Amino acid sequence: MSAPVVQDPVFPQNPKTARTIADLRTVVTTWKRDGLRVGFVPTMGALHDGHLALVRHAQSVSDKVVVSIFVNPMQFAPTEDLERYPRREVEDIAKLAEVGCDLVYLPTPEIMYPADFVTRVHVDGPAQGLETDFRPQFFDGVATVVCKLFNQVMPDVAVFGEKDYQQLKVVQAFARDLDMPVEVVGLPTVREMDGLALSSRNAYLKPEDRAQAIALYNALRHVRAAVVDGLDVEAAITEATGNLTAAGFAKVDYIAVRHAETLGDPVDGEPQRILAAAWLGTTRLIDNIGV
């Protein structure tokens, strides 16, 4: 018999927490036996209103909602911010209690990646270019952990943010290719009043950087205006890159116009997406908008 699921001592009402696959399964299999539809929102924690919008949407399309909090070591390069990434478990559980999430799944790296772990899920197509040009390990790490999480949680529907647009397309691709019985839904990016996309990494920004961060969204809008008006898009990308540098961004990794579904070259008359990544001080920000 599996161990009973622990009622979190800090929040004895809701949500329940599970820290092992067995505890998670005990709850989810009971729901499934009762014919309930399970929604799932994977996160790395340090939750903000963007994450909570995903949870609310998951609640609106399912009977029970699981949120995972796991800072996935496999998607970070040794030079990246794995150690520094914000971890706020108690506050996160409180926020999830407030929105009425049913179960918070908090696996450890040892549970996800035991010593004999030897598998990688690799996606081509939408995973090629953009983020991969700068973070070659990233999407193998994301696809592997999300694949594992889908097998662990067994959701009927999983909700992701368009904030990480390339990630959304990568997850949709492997869920389709591997015949996973889960519907992967993307939701629009939640932004601050000035337009900055909410992100756990915004916590890294110094106050003086925060004021400049909005330049990234403005750069995307500058390029979108050129696409919509039929102007020279390459020239607009060059101008937008210059605007970011003028606003104090240290380095622009990319600003690109892509086909909204394949993330390959844009095709006239078909939906397009504009995506960007740039460094403000030591913080790497990403954002994207539809055309």
- Closer Cβ to ligand AMP, 237 or 273, answer by number: 273
DSSP-assigned beta bridge partners for residue 274 = 257, 289
For residue 87, say whether it is annotated as part of any ligand binding site: no
Among 102, 164, 209, 287, binds ligand AMP (CB under 6 A): 164
**How is the beta sheet containing 251-259 ordered, strand by strand?**
251-259, 272-280, 283-290
Angle separating helix axes 49-61 and 89-99, nearest 10 degrees: 40
State the Cα–Cα distance between residues 266 and 23, nearest whole angstrom: 45
Indicate if 51 belongs to the active site.
yes
Q: How far is the CB of 227 from ligand AMP (least distance, A)?
A: 23
State the Cα–Cα distance between residues 126 and 172, nearest whole angstrom: 10
The interface with ligand AMP within residues 33-72 (CB under 6 A) comprises 43-44, 50-51, 53-54
Q: How far is the CB of 111 from ligand AMP (least distance, A)?
A: 18
Start-end of H helices in the chain: 21-33, 49-61, 89-99, 109-112, 131-134, 138-153, 165-177, 207-213, 215-229, 233-246
Q: How far is the CB of 195 from ligand AMP (least distance, A)?
A: 11
For residue 49, say whether it is annotated as part of any ligand binding site: yes
Task: Locate 180 and state its tokens.
Answer: 């996973």
Among 198, 255, 257, 276, binds ligand AMP (CB under 6 A): 198
Which residue has the closest beta carbon to ligand AMP? 161
User: Is residue 106 a contact partner of residue 145, using CB atoms and an 8 Å limit?
Assistant: no
Q: How far is the CB of 260 from ligand AMP (least distance, A)?
A: 16
Which residue ranges make up the annotated binding site?
A: 44-51, 75, 161-164, 167, 190, 198-201
Q: Please list the active-site residues.
A: 51
Binding stretches for ligand AMP (CB under 6 A): 43-44, 50-51, 53-54, 160-161, 163-164, 187, 189-190, 197-200
